[in-house]
Amino acid sequence: MNLVIKGGRVLDPAGGVDSVLDIFVRDDKIAALGNVPANPDMTIDATGLIVVPGLVDMHVHLREPGNEEEETIASGAESAAAGGITSCACMPNTEPAIDNEAAAEFVILQSNRAARSNVYPIGAVTAGRKGEELAEIGGMVRGGAVAFSDDGSPVSNAEILRRAMLYTKMFDRPVISHCENRELAGSGVMNSGMVSMTLGLAGMSNASEEIMVARDIALAEITGALLHIAHVSAAGSVELVRRAKEKGLRVTCEATPHHFTLTDECVRLFDSNYKVNPPLRTAEDIQAIKAGLADGTIDAVASDHAPHTEEEKDVEFSFAPFGIIGMETLLPLVVSELVKPGIITLQKAIELVSTNPAKILRLERGTLTPGAVADIAIIDTETEWEIDVGSFRSKSRNCPFHGRKVFGRALKTIVSGRIIHEHSPGHGAGGRD
Amino acid sequence: MAHQVIVDSKELSKLVEKLASDISHEGKSLQDIAVVGIHKRGVPLAQRLADIIKARWGADIEQGSLDITLYRDDLSSAPAQPEVHATKIDFDLSGKRVVLVDDVLYTGRTARAAISEILDFGRPRRIEFAVLVDRGHQELPIRADYVGKILETTSSQMVEVKITETDGEDMVLLISKGE
Amino acid sequence: MEWKRRHLLGLEDLSAGEITAVLDMAVSFKEVSTRSIKKVPPLRGKVVANLFFEPSTRTRISFELAASRLSADVVNFEKSTSSAVKGETLKDTARNIERMGVDIVVVRHTAPGAPHRLAEVLNISVLNAGDGAHEHPTQALLDLFTIREHKGELKGLTVAIVGDIGHSRVARSSIWGLKALGANVILVGPPTLVPAGFRKLGVEVSHNLDEVISRCDVINMLRIQFERQQSGLFPSLREYSRLFGLNRERMQRAREDVLIMHPGPINRGVEIAPQVADGPHSVILEQVENGLAVRMAAMYLVTRGR
């Protein structure tokens, strides 16, 4: 099948491309840039739009197996597609946890069945995510796992994490760390600060994250492992990663859109759509995260998509589960909060949401170089639109951004050369010839 | 709006004197009597009655005051908060002849509320009602036992009583809308 | 100052005028309790529901009495909030209650913000009887009322609140109320119970009761419990009592006209010595009496509010 994407601004940081070009996709691969056949089977008119490598969301939670009413791998893959995300990596805190080869393979199988965006499993670091013994990391690599993490939970025992980091090194896969000191965080439900003090809610301090970031970086140093810090939320954490990189350590990290958009002041509404772990922090922390995104300290933006049903979330703030969905708001928030105000360029944004996460997960994605798999997103950064949670493809609705006016939308999402998502009404969508 | 002075300062004083006389039955019925003013202008009126009775017949009679806001049957049109310190009945009502005092008797609802409130304080022997002006149009079977002046009014007219203690001057105005 | 609110959820957002409106109203209602028939009719035919998710006999009875003195009918619901006990949700319970024809719901809950959520979904009035560590507006109001009765006005007074401020809804509501009316607030307790961050609210923080006691016009002692929230935040009740307990020795350093308050129930011998609790400076029992008047005022005003 010959597909031509015509007249869009092709922005591929990995391939060093940023110009208005036509793209030739043959079957499932990118065949050529600029040099396109005269009579393709399909043409997509991308005039005025940006054509980028499909987004790679390296931190999502899909609830299969165990909590399929919140999200399944299939519905997650649909949600990803709607967000311009062609590959996502799902965390293993399912029930049961993804801690063996068969469980990892199951994710790949379900992803293939869904035939939407690719879902790759992140395997557990410890058996059952209990933090006590190493899980069968080698088996999971065979099963398709791209990284390892006990996310949802920290690996509280430093020695266990040290061993895991050492062991995982031989597979050249990163260990993704959820940095939270459980004793300090205690029964906290939000950031520890003026707001929690005023509201009488238990708080989780910046220190409860920073202490573990420092610990994990030290462990990465002695093991030489690949460490990726998940969902950085505290200013101090950003600084610790900055210094680790200056030392030349193989430490990467990510931040979520809600952590550079919302502060703990939102919690005054007692709406559990603002309850997330790590919690929304202060304006100072947001500043530090933005600075970290701009100067390269933070390598990726990931959604930490965490679906919950309405019944679960529609309870008192103190009792609600933590989590916000985010695959369908990732791109718009990156564009609206970072690119439009000039904090980063659009090129940098694509590095954060596609090039770098693909690299960190060692996926052969995140690029539009000829020969690469044709995972492409065609995005509109100029038309303002309003987020409507009701129209999300995710099964869940726990999102604090309903009604928010944003820029940045994936109009078409292409996986392996096939259009798996189209946003209508057509904006430069050419239809079939 | 036309304002007509129906009762001037001098006549008002005369009316109050007459009320004092009627209430006390020319000074012959002063035992177990208590005057209770209905907030707000009934209170200084009750005070004046007590003063006159003391001056003319040397008797110290019990005095009290009532804020009837909590007892109104039309709470939605009542002011948001009743006056503070307005209700004061610091004597025993049992066996007393309680004379409620107000400036104007109109629909009778205020008096009805005052009666309910007094009964929550105790069981007087008798309750009577003294008003400076009765302007008719009662909506309840309420009547005043002692009336200073009867005024024929239409429901589009307003009767405004001014008392020096609250308004700086003594007079009764009849206000007609229109014209 | 007119009261226009349909709910009483906390004191943080109330103006000095609104707070004063409640206190002034309470004066009238205190008078009602001196009559032979301690009842007035403004809430006749109305139903007040006590929805208590946290056990509390005293506060519930106080609200019940307040409602019946206003001639309202009272119904009581007591439920458990253990999150492990998955029963009817708070919203569903409240909606059912509203459908039954209740006019005011008085809510006490372990989770901050529970009454606020209810106020968003219900059309009836919501009174907060305590939501976790967040607010307990009627308690703070009755404390303000008690102080005002004795001292005339709150402006310029120095009021100390002693105890586990961090977990105390009484402390929080009191801070808002006292500051709104112009009082100076000193929070006293060990650093583990009194976070320094409170200074940013414009109050003083002290870890030494002996140092500040002679400056205080009012001392409000909070109950110290050695229960789950507080365990481990100080070594023992004995140590707490020695350092922060209001005993007779400390009282000698207090002002002649100091008022001693306590929201109750008292832990005799822990935060307050029996002789002090029963002594001439104590207004603890008056607080209980005033609680009734203040709660009557709150109920009356929210039914009038738009």
Which three-class secondary structure state does DSSP give residue A252?
A: strand
What domain range includes position B47? 10-154
| pLDDT tens profile C26-51 | 998 998 888 888 999 999 999 999 99
pLDDT in tens, A265-324: 999 999 999 999 999 999 999 999 999 999 999 999 999 999 999 999 999 999 999 999
> Is the model's pLDDT at B101 over the cut of 90?
yes
What is the predicted ipTM?
0.89
Task: Report domain C16-135+291-304's class.
Answer: alpha beta
The predicted structure's pLDDT at residue A402: 97
Identify the CATH number of the domain in which residue A252 sits: 3.20.20.140
Decide if C83 touches A, using CB distance below 8 A.
yes
The verdict on residue A282 lying in a domain is yes
Chosen from C81, C134, C135 to mutate, greatest number of chain A CBs within 10 A: C134
Please work out, in degrees rounded to the nearest 5, the angle formed at the alpha carbon of residue A51 by the alpha carbons of A48 and A55: 135
Residues on chain C touching A311 (C-beta within 8 angstroms): 89
pLDDT, residue B178, reads: 67
Which residues of chain C neighbour B120 with C-beta distances below 8 Å? 35-37, 39-40
Distance (Å) from the alpha carbon of C18 to chain B's nearest alpha carbon: 12
Same domain, A338 and A349: yes
Edge-first strand listing for the sheet containing C184-188: C204-206, C184-188, C158-162, C218-221, C259-261
**Percent of chain B scored above 70 by pLDDT?**
92
| Residue A275 and residue A178 share a domain | yes
Contact A316 C90 (CB under 8 A): yes
Judgement on whether residues A170 and A236 belong to the same structural domain of the protein: yes
C28 interface with B at CB cutoff 8 Å: yes
By C-alpha distance, the chain C residue nearest A320 is C83
Interface of A with C in 173-212 (CB under 8 A): 193-194, 197-201
The answer to whether residue B173 is domain-embedded is no
Q: Are residues A34 and A151 in the same domain?
A: no
Q: Identify the pLDDT of residue C78.
A: 79
CA distance B138 to B147: 14
What is the reported pLDDT for A428?
38
Q: Is the pLDDT of residue A432 over 80?
A: no
> What total of structural domains would you count in chain A?
2
**Best of C28, C39, C46, C299 to disrupt the B interface by mutation (most B CBs within 10 Å)?**
C28
Instruction: Answer yes or no: is pLDDT of A383 > 50.
Output: yes
C42, B80: Cβ pair inside 8 Å?
no
Mean pLDDT over B86-114 rounds to 93
Residue of chain C whose Cα is closest to the Cα of B89: C35
> Does residue B177 lie within any of the structural domains?
no
Interface of C with A in 99-128 (CB under 8 A): 109-114, 116-117
Asked if A405 and A309 sit in the same domain, the reply is: no
**Does residue A190 sit within a domain?**
yes
Q: For an interface test with C, give the residue of B66, B120, B123 to mutate (most C CBs within 10 A).
A: B120
The whole-number pLDDT of residue A73 equals 97
pLDDT at A42: 95
The pLDDT score that the predictor gives to residue C275 is 94
From C4, C35, C44, C58, active-site residue: C58
Is C86 assigned a catalytic role?
yes
CATH number at residue A15: 2.30.40.10
Touching, B vs A (3+ Cβ pairs under 8 A): no
What is the reported pLDDT for C3? 87
Contact A200 C89 (CB under 8 A): no
| Domain total of chain B | 1
Helix, strand or coil, per DSSP, at residue A141: helix
Active-site residue, C223 included: no
Q: Is residue A262 located within the same domain as residue A168?
A: yes
Determine, for residues A201 and C112 on separate chains, whether the beta-carbon distance falls below 8 Å. yes
Distance from CA of A238 to the nearest CA of C (A): 24
Residue of A198, A200, A270 with shortest CB distance to C116: A270
Measured between beta carbons, the chain B residues lying within 8 angstroms of C300 are 70
CA distance B39 to chain C (A): 14
Interface check A108 vs C, CB under 8 A? no
Quote the pLDDT of residue C227: 61
pTM for this model (two decimals): 0.89
Q: Is B92 touching C (CB cutoff 8 A)?
A: no
* Range with lowest mean pLDDT among A220-229, A334-343, B60-69: B60-69
User: pLDDT at residue B30 above 90?
Assistant: no
* Residue A171 counted as domain residue: yes
Q: Check whether residue A74 and residue A43 sit in a common domain.
A: no
Which of chain A's residues have a Cβ under 8 Å away from the Cβ of C114?
Answer: 316
H or E segment to which residue B144 belongs = none
The CATH number given to whatever domain includes residue B116 is 3.40.50.2020
Catalytically annotated residue among A304, A375, A388, A433 = A304
Of C24, C35, C301, the CB nearest to B84: C24
**Chain centroid, CA C116 distance in Å:** 17
A310 in C contact zone (CB under 8 Å)? no
- Which residue range(s) make up the domain with A228? 54-360
Contact B35, B20 (CB under 8 A): no
* Residue B10 confidence (pLDDT): 94
Query: Which chains would you list as touching C if contact means 3+ CB atom pairs under 8 Å?
Result: A, B
How distant is the Cα of A206 from the closest Cα of chain C, in angstroms?
15
Residue in chain C nearest A316 by alpha carbon = C114
Q: What angle do CA C251, C254, C256 make, to 5 degrees?
A: 105
Q: Do B70 and C39 touch (CB under 8 A)?
A: no
Q: Which chains touch A (3 or more CB pairs under 8 A)?
A: C
- Does residue A37 share a domain with residue A179? no
Q: What distance in Å separates the CA atoms of residue C245 and residue A11, rounded to the nearest whole number? A: 69
User: Would B32 be classed as within a structural domain?
Assistant: yes
Strand order in the sheet with B97-105: B62-66, B33-38, B97-105, B126-134, B146-150
Tell me whether residue A193 is in a domain: yes
One domain for residues A306 and A343: yes
Report the residue count for chain C: 306
Interacting residues of C104 by C-beta distance below 8 A, sequence separation 6+: C46, C47, C48, C49, C67, C72, C124, C125, C126, C127, C299, C302, C303
Q: Indicate whether A348 belongs to any domain.
A: yes
pLDDT at C36: 80
Whether residue B92 is contained in a domain is answered as: yes
Going by pLDDT thresholds of 50, 70 and 90, the confidence category of residue A433 is very low
| Token pair for B165 | 């203690």
* Per-residue model confidence (pLDDT) at position A430: 37
3-class DSSP state of A85: strand
The reply to whether C36 touches chain A by the CB within 8 Å rule is: no
**CA–CA min distance C100, chain A (Å):** 22
CB contact under 8 A, C28 and B120: no
Domain C137-287: assigned CATH number = 3.40.50.1370
- Is A270 found in the same domain as A140? yes
Facing residue for A317 by CB, picked from C81, C113, C135: C113
User: Which residue of C lies nearest to B73 if distances are taken between CA atoms?
Assistant: C42
- pLDDT at residue A431, rounded to an integer: 36
How sure is the predictor about A171, in pLDDT bands with cuts at 50, 70 and 90? Answer: very high
Query: Along the 306 residues of chain C, how does pLDDT read in single tens digits?
Result: 678 899 999 999 999 999 999 999 999 899 888 888 899 999 999 999 999 988 888 999 999 999 999 999 999 987 765 444 556 778 888 888 899 999 999 999 999 999 999 999 999 999 999 999 999 999 999 999 999 999 999 999 999 999 999 999 999 999 999 999 999 999 999 999 999 999 999 999 999 999 999 999 999 999 987 664 556 888 888 899 999 999 999 999 999 999 999 998 998 889 999 999 999 999 999 999 999 999 999 999 999 875
- CA-nearest residue to B114 within chain C is C40
Same domain, A23 and A108: no
- Interface contact C198, partner A, CB < 8 A: yes
Asked if residue A247 is part of any domain, the answer here is yes
- C89 contacts in chain A (CB < 8 Å): 311, 314-315
A153 touching C (Cβ < 8 Å): no
Residues A271 and A377 in one domain: no
Decide if pLDDT at A21 tops 90.
yes
CB contact under 8 Å between C90 and A315, yes or no, is yes
Q: A295 in a domain, yes or no?
A: yes
Per CB-CB distance under 8 Å, the chain C contacts of B115 are none
C172 and A CB contact within 8 Å? yes
Tens-place pLDDT, residues B118-130: 998 889 999 999 9
